[in-house]
C-alpha cells in the first residue's frame, strides 16, 4: 500500500498539468468565439487549392 | 445567350451584363472598380470560377479619402493596441459580414496583402481582429481596402468594455475549470474514504486522503466561489437578501466544519459536495449569462443603419467627419446610396428614399426641398443637402433603438414578484436549516450536520430565480430574429391573458396590397388623383392609387393636407380637390349622382372598397379597389375564438364592405363595425372594461393603439413603436401577430412549466433532506441540476413558429 504515496502525487500532478493546459487555452482566447471556427474548418481544402493556383499564376 | 461576333467583348467583365456599343469592358464604373480591386488583391479565382479571362493590369490602391478620420490620435488611442512600432492590432466591426464566404474572403487578406499580419473574424459579432504593420500599411489604407471589397469597417471604440467582458468571461471559464477538476478529484478521494470506513483502513491513509481533499478544495472555496461571496455581501450591504447568501454560508461553513472534523479525527467530510455544488452552479450561471448577453446583443444591431462618417458642407467645401462629431444645424451632403446620418430637412436637391425600416413600405418615397428625412433611411438616386435637426438618440431611429434596448433590462411585474418570493424563500430556507439542525442535534446528533447541509444545498431557490429572466431573454432574442420588435418584455406575459381582440381591417386582416379594379371618370384628373394619393404615403389605398397612376404624376396642386382616416385635400389655384372615403364625402356634403350611387352600392355589397374624388362640390371620379384576405387570417381568428377571445373588427371602411368580410370568416361571435373614424375606434376601446388589444396601422390607428391595454402596430407607422404601440411587427403584418401570439403562448407555457418544476423540486427536496434520504453529495448534484434543467428547458424551446 505504500505505493499510494507515489501514485497520489503523480495523479495530482497529471491533473494539474491538464488544468494548466486548460487555463492556457482559455487565456489564449480559444474559448472566446465558438461559432467561427466551426465554419472556418470547412475552408481548409479550398485554401490549399487557392494558394497553389496563386503560385502557378505568379510564376507564369 | 447573345451571339458573339468578332472578338469584341459583349458583356461586362465583372457582372456579365450586356454592354452598350460605346462601352469596352465594363457596364458601369462600379463594376470596373470592383473588378480592379479583386484583381489587385490577387483573388482572381473569383473570375476563374466564372470562366472569364483576365487581361487587365493592376494598379496601386490609393487610400480612400473618407477614412482619414481614422488618423485622429484620440480615436487611434481608443481603438489601437500597439505591440511595437511594426505590430499593431485593431478591431473593426464589419456590419456586412453575413455568411461563411465573408469569413473566407476576409481571412485570405493576410496572404495576399503585405502589411497585414493576421486577420481573424468573429462571425457571431461581425467583427474582425486585424494585426498589421503600420510602417507598410496605414490604418486609412487598411480601412479603404476593406471598404473596397465590400466590408466597410466601423472602428469598435467600446473596446475597453469589450475587453473587460472578455476578461470576465475567461475568468469564469477558469473558475469553472478549477472547480470541475477539484470536484472530480475530491469525489474520488471521498469515495475511497467511504469504502475505507466500511472495510477499515489505516488511519494514516485516511488522514492523508482527508488533507489532500482539504488542500484541493481550498482554491474552490477561496477563488472559484468568489462570485457568490461578492453578490451575497453586496446584497447584505444594500439590506436585502439574495439567493447567493445561503450558498456562501453553505460553502464557508462546510469547509470550516470539515477542517475541524479532520483535525479532531472525525469520519465524514463533505468537501466533494461543495466542490461539486460550486462547479455545477458556476456552469449553470455561465450558460444563463451567455444566453442573456446574446439576446441583448441582437437589439443593438439597428445602430448599423447609421453611417459611421458623414460629409459636412462648410462654405461650399465638403469635409468628412465622424457621426459622433455631428451637431444640430450642420449642413450635410448625402450621396445616392448612402444612408442619411440624422433627422433633418432637405434644403437642396431631389431624390427618393427607402423608408422600409421605418414604415415597412418598400416603395421609394420621393423627397424634395423642405421634405423631412430621417436618420438611417437610404438615399436612393439623387444628391441631397440636409440641415440636421436631431442627432443620435434623438432621431426617430435612435428613439426606436433606445426603446428596444430597455425591455431586456426592465423587470416585469412577474419577475419583481418572483424576486420577492425568492427572498422570502431564502429566509425560509435559513430558518428551516437552523430548525433541522436543532431537531436532529437533539434526536440523533450524529446526522444533524449532514442533514442540515443536505437541506441547505437542496432547497437553494436558484431554479426559481433563473427561470423567468432566462425564458424572457431567450424568447425576446428569437422574436428579434424573426423581425418582431417588442418594446416591453411584459407584453409576452400578458398577451395571452387579454380578453378582447380588436383588429383594423385594411392592411391588417387583409393584405393591404389592393388592386384597382376600375377607375371611373375622365383621365384628365388622373394626375391630380396621383398627387393627392402621394400626400398620404402611409395609407394602403393611397399607396395603391399612387402606384396605379404613377405615369400620370403631376404637381399642380398646392396646400396638400392629410385628414387621417378620412382623405386628402389639395388646391389648384381656386379649385379644391378631395380624395377620400364615402363617409368623409357625406360629412363634406358632396353629393353623389344617383346613377353612380347605385353602382357604388353594388360594389360595396360585394366587399369592394370605393375611393371618391371630387372637384369643389362635384364628384368627378371614383375608384373601385379590391383587397385579398390574408390566407392566415381565417385560421388565426378561429384559433382566437377557440381560446375564448372576443374578436371585433374596427374599420374606417364602409359598413357593407366590413360585413362582407366578417361573414366570410364564418365566426358567429365576430363583431364587425365599419364607418368608424379613428377617434371612434379609440373611444370603443377606451370604454371596454376588459383588457383589450388593438392591432392596427401605426399612424392611422395611433390613438386606438394607445387606448388598448396592448397596442400592436403593423408596418406603416414610424410613430407606432415610438409612442402608441408596444410591439412593432414591421412589414410582416398579420403573420407577425400570429407569430407573436404563438411566442407569448410558448413563453407562458415554459414559465409555468419551470415554476411548477422548481417549486415541486424544492418542497420534495426539503422533505427528503430533512428525513435523511438525500446525502449532502446527492443534494449538491441535484440542486445545480435543477437550475440546469430550468435553463435548458428555457433555451431549448423554440418560441417561434416556422
Q: Say if residue A44's pLDDT is above 70.
A: no
| Residues of chain A positioned with their CB less than 8 A from the CB of B121 | 36
| Residues of chain B positioned with their CB less than 8 A from the CB of A26 | 170, 173-174, 177
> How many angstroms separate the CA of residue A55 from the nearest CA in chain B?
11
**Burial letters for B272-309: b for 16+ Cβ neighbours within 10 Å, e otherwise?**
bbbbbbbbbbbbbbebbeebbeebeebbeebbebbbbb
Q: Give the C-alpha separation, B266 to B260, whole Å.
A: 8
Say if residues B37 and B149 touch (Cβ distance below 8 Å): yes
Mutation test of the interface with chain B: which of A19, A59, A60, choosing the one with the most B Cβ atoms within 10 A?
A19
What pLDDT band is residue B218 in, cutting at 50, 70 and 90? very high
Say if residues B291 and B795 touch (Cβ distance below 8 Å): yes
What pLDDT band is residue A23 in, cutting at 50, 70 and 90? very high
Cβ neighbour number for residue B243 with a 10 Å cutoff: 23
Torsion angle, alpha carbons of B364, B365, B370, B375, to 10:
-70
| Residues of chain A positioned with their CB less than 8 A from the CB of B42 | 54
What integer best gives the mean pLDDT of chain B? 77
Q: Say if residue B134's pLDDT is above 90.
A: no
Say if residues B619 and B589 touch (Cβ distance below 8 Å): no
Q: Give the C-alpha separation, B586 to B591, whole Å.
A: 7
Torsion angle, alpha carbons of B253, B254, B259, B260, to 10:
70
> How many angstroms separate the CA of residue B436 from the nearest CA in chain A?
37
Q: B336: which DSSP letter?
A: T
According to DSSP, the residues that pair with B132 across neighbouring strands are: B88, B116
Mutation test of the interface with chain B: which of A11, A16, A22, choosing the one with the most B Cβ atoms within 10 A?
A22
pLDDT at B57: 29
Cβ separation of A35 and B124 shorter than 8 Å? Answer: yes
pLDDT at B719: 45
Q: Give the C-alpha separation, B647 to B670, whole Å.
A: 5
Provide the grid cell at B615.
372637384
Mean pLDDT of B531-560: 77
- Residue partners of A35: CB distance under 8 A and separation at least 6: B122, B123, B124
Q: Say if residue B175's pLDDT is above 90.
A: yes
ipTM of the complex: 0.76
Cβ neighbour number for residue B362 with a 10 Å cutoff: 10
In this complex, which of B42, B107, B177 lies closest to A23 when CB atoms are compared? B177
Tens-digit pLDDT profile for residues B294-343: 665 554 555 556 666 677 777 777 777 777 777 777 788 887 777 787 88
What pLDDT band is residue B188 in, cutting at 50, 70 and 90? confident
Q: Say if residue B752's pLDDT is above 60.
A: yes
- Residue partners of B3: CB distance under 8 A and separation at least 6: none
User: B266 CB near a chain A CB, below 8 Å?
Assistant: no
Cβ neighbour number for residue B489 with a 10 Å cutoff: 24
pLDDT at B304: 58
DSSP string, B19-30: PPTT-SS-SSHH
Inter-chain CB pairs, A–B, below 8 Å: 67
**What's the pTM value of the predicted model, to 2 decimals?**
0.60
pLDDT at B30: 67
What pLDDT band is residue B179 in, cutting at 50, 70 and 90? very high
Mutation test of the interface with chain B: which of A7, A30, A40, A48, choosing the one with the most B Cβ atoms within 10 A?
A40
pLDDT at A19: 93
Mean pLDDT of A34-55: 61
Tens-digit pLDDT profile for residues B31-88: 777 777 777 776 766 665 544 333 332 333 444 456 777 777 777 777 777 888 888 8
pLDDT at B176: 94
End-to-end CA distance of chain B: give it in Å, rounded: 40
pLDDT at B224: 93
Q: Say if residue B181's pLDDT is above 90.
A: yes
User: B183 CB near a chain A CB, below 8 Å?
Assistant: no
Tens-digit pLDDT profile for residues B709-747: 788 877 554 444 555 567 767 655 677 788 888 888 888
Provide the grid cell at A3.
505505493
pLDDT at B182: 93
In B123-174, beta strands by DSSP E: 127-132, 154-155
The phi-psi region of residue B554 (left if phi > 0; otherwise alpha if psi is between -120 and 50; otherwise beta) is beta
> How many angstroms separate the CA of residue B737 from the nearest CA in chain A?
31
| Residues of chain A positioned with their CB less than 8 A from the CB of B128 | none
Residue B702 CA: distances (Å) to CA of B565, B680, B722: 11, 12, 10
| Residues of chain A positioned with their CB less than 8 A from the CB of B220 | none
Tens-digit pLDDT profile for residues B334-390: 877 777 878 888 888 878 777 655 554 556 677 777 777 777 777 777 788 888 887
Of A2-11, B81-90, B266-275, B309-318, which range is least confident?
Answer: B309-318
In this complex, which of A36, A42, A53 lies closest to B123 when CB atoms are compared? A36
Cβ separation of A32 and B170 shorter than 8 Å? Answer: yes
Q: Say if residue B4's pLDDT is above 60.
A: no
> How many angstroms separate the CA of residue A56 from the nearest CA in chain B?
12
Q: Give the C-alpha separation, B702 to B699, whole Å.
A: 5
The phi-psi region of residue B755 (left if phi > 0; otherwise alpha if psi is between -120 and 50; otherwise beta) is alpha
Rg over CA atoms, chain A: 22
User: B111 CB near a chain A CB, below 8 Å?
Assistant: yes
Q: Say if residue B627's pLDDT is above 70.
A: yes
| Residues of chain A positioned with their CB less than 8 A from the CB of B100 | 39, 42-43
Burial class (CB in 10 A: 0-12, 13-18, 19+), B753: middle
pLDDT at B59: 33
DSSP string, B582-629: HHHHHHTT-B--HHHHHHHHHHHHTT-EEEEEEETTEEEEEEEEE-PB
Cβ separation of A36 and B103 shorter than 8 Å? Answer: yes
Q: Say if residue B2's pLDDT is above 50.
A: no
Cβ separation of B208 and A53 shorter than 8 Å? Answer: no
Helix (H, G, I), strand (E, B) or coil at B161: helix
Q: Say if residue B629's pLDDT is above 80.
A: no
Query: Which chain A residue shows the shortest CA-CA distance from B216?
Result: A12
Tens-digit pLDDT profile for residues B584-616: 888 888 878 887 888 888 888 777 888 888 888
Highest mean pLDDT among A15-29, B126-140, B376-390: A15-29
Strand pairing report for B317-322 and B309-314 = antiparallel
pLDDT at B23: 66
pLDDT at A58: 47
Amino acid at each position: 500500500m505504500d505505493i499510494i504515496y507515489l501514485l497520489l502525487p503523480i495523479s495530482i500532478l497529471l491533473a494539474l498539468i491538464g488544468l494548466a493546459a486548460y487555463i492556457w487555452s482559455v487565456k489564449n482566447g480559444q474559448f472566446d468565439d465558438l461559432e467561427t471556427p466551426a465554419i472556418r474548418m470547412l475552408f481548409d481544402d479550398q485554401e490549399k487549392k487557392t494558394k497553389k493556383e496563386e503560385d502557378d499564376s505568379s510564376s507564369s | 445567350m447573345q451571339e458573339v461576333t468578332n472578338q469584341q467583348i459583349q458583356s461586362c467583365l465583372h457582372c456579365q451584363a450586356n454592354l452598350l456599343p460605346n462601352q469596352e469592358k465594363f457596364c458601369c464604373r462600379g463594376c470596373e472598380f470592383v473588378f480592379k480591386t479583386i484583381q489587385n488583391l490577387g483573388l482572381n479565382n473569383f473570375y476563374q470560377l466564372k470562366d472569364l479571362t483576365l487581361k487587365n493590369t493592376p494598379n496601386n490602391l490609393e487610400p480612400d479619402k473618407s477614412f482619414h478620420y481614422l488618423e485622429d490620435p484620440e480615436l487611434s488611442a481608443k481603438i489601437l493596441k500597439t505591440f511595437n512600432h511594426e505590430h499593431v492590432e485593431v478591431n473593426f466591426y464589419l456590419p456586412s459580414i453575413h455568411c461563411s464566404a465573408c469569413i473566407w474572403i476576409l481571412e485570405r487578406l493576410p496572404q495576399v496583402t503585405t502589411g497585414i499580419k493576421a486577420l481573424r473574424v468573429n462571425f457571431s459579432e461581425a467583427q474582425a481582429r486585424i494585426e498589421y504593420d503600420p510602417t507598410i500599411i496605414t490604418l486609412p489604407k487598411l480601412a479603404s481596402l476593406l471598404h473596397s471589397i465590400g466590408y466597410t469597417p466601423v472602428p469598435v471604440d467600446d473596446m475597453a468594455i469589450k475587453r473587460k467582458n472578455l476578461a470576465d468571461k475567461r475568468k469564469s471559464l477558469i473558475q469553472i475549470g478549477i472547480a470541475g477538476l477539484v470536484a472530480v478529484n475530491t469525489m474520488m478521494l471521498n469515495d475511497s474514504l467511504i469504502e475505507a470506513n466500511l472495510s477499515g483502513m489505516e488511519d494514516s491513509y485516511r488522514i492523508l486522503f482527508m488533507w489532500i481533499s482539504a488542500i484541493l478544495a481550498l482554491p474552490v472555496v477561496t477563488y472559484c466561489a468568489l462570485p457568490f461571496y461578492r453578490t451575497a455581501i453586496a446584497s447584505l450591504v444594500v439590506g436585502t437578501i439574495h439567493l447567493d447568501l445561503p450558498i456562501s454560508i453553505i460553502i464557508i461553513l462546510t469547509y470550516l466544519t470539515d477542517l475541524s472534523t479532520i483535525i479532531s479525527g472525525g469520519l465524514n467530510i463533505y468537501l466533494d459536495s461543495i466542490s461539486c455544488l460550486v462547479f455545477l452552479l458556476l456552469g449553470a450561471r455561465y450558460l444563463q449569462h451567455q444566453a442573456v448577453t446574446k439576446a441583448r446583443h441582437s437589439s443593438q444591431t439597428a445602430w448599423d443603419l447609421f453611417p459611421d462618417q458623414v460629409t459636412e458642407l462648410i462654405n461650399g467645401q465638403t469635409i468628412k467627419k465622424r457621426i459622433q462629431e455631428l451637431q444640430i444645424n450642420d449642413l450635410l451632403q448625402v450621396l445616392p446610396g448612402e444612408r442619411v446620418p440624422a433627422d433633418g430637412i432637405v434644403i437642396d436637391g431631389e431624390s427618393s428614399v427607402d423608408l422600409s425600416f421605418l414604415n415597412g413600405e418598400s416603395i421609394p418615397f420621393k423627397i424634395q426641398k423642405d421634405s423631412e428625412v430621417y436618420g438611417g433611411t437610404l438615399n436612393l438616386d439623387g444628391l441631397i443637402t440636409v440641415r440636421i435637426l436631431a442627432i443620435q438618440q434623438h432621431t426617430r431611429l435612435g428613439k426606436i433603438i433606445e426603446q428596444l434596448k430597455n425591455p431586456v433590462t426592465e423587470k416585469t411585474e412577474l419577475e419583481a414578484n418572483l424576486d420577492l418570493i425568492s427572498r422570502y424563500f431564502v429566509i425560509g430556507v435559513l430558518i428551516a436549516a437552523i430548525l433541522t439542525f436543532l431537531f436532529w442535534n437533539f434526536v440523533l446528533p450524529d446526522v444533524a450536520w449532514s442533514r442540515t447541509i443536505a437541506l441547505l444545498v437542496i432547497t437553494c431557490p436558484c431554479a426559481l430565480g433563473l427561470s423567468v429572466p432566462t425564458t424572457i431573454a431567450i424568447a425576446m432574442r428569437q422574436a428579434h430574429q424573426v423581425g418582431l420588435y417588442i418594446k416591453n418584455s411584459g407584453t409576452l406575459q400578458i398577451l395571452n391573458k387579454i380578453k378582447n381582440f380588436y383588429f383594423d381591417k385594411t392592411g391588417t386582416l387583409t393584405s393591404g396590397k389592393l388592386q384597382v379594379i376600375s377607375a371611373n371618370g375622365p383621365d384628365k384628373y388622373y394626375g391630380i388623383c396621383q398627387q393627392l394619393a402621394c400626400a398620404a404615403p402611409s395609407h394602403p389605398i393611397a399607396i395603391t392609387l399612387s402606384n396605379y397612376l404613377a405615369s400620370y404624376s403631376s404637381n399642380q396642386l398646392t396646400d396638400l393636407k392629410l385628414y387621417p382616416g378620412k382623405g386628402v385635400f389639395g388646391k389648384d389655384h381656386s379649385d379644391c380637390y378631395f380624395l377620400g372615403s364615402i363617409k368623409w364625402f357625406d360629412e363634406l356634403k358632396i353629393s353623389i349622382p344617383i346613377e353612380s350611387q347605385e353602382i357604388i352600392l353594388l360594389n360595396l355589397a360585394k366587399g369592394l372598397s370605393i375611393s371618391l374624388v371630387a372637384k369643389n362640390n362635384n364628384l368627378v371620379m371614383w375608384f373601385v379597389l379590391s383587397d385579398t384576405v390574408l390566407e392566415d387570417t381565417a385560421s388565426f381568428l378561429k384559433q382566437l375564438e377557440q381560446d375564448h377571445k372576443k374578436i371585433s373588427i374596427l374599420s374606417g371602411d364602409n359598413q357593407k364592405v366590413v360585413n362582407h368580410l366578417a361573414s366570410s370568416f364564418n365566426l358567429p361571435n365576430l363583431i364587425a363595425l365599419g364607418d368608424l373614424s379613428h377617434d371612434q375606434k379609440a373611444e370603443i376601446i377606451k370604454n371596454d372594461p376588459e383588457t383589450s388589444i388593438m392591432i392596427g396601422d401605426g399612424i392611422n390607428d395611433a390613438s386606438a393603439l394607445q387606448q388598448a391595454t396592448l397596442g400592436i402596430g403593423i408596418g406603416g407607422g414610424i410613430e407606432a413603436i415610438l409612442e402608441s404601440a408596444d410591439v412593432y411587427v414591421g412589414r410582416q403584418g398579420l403573420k407577425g401577430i400570429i407569430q407573436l401570439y404563438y411566442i407569448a403562448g410558448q413563453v407562458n407555457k415554459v414559465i409555468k412549466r419551470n415554476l411548477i418544476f422548481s417549486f415541486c423540486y424544492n418542497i420534495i427536496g426539503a422533505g427528503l433532506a430533512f428525513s435523511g434520504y438525500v446525502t449532502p453529495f446527492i443534494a449538491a448534484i441535484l440542486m445545480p441540476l435543477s437550475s440546469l434543467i430550468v435553463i435548458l428547458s428555457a433555451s431549448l424551446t423554440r418560441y417561434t413558429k416556422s
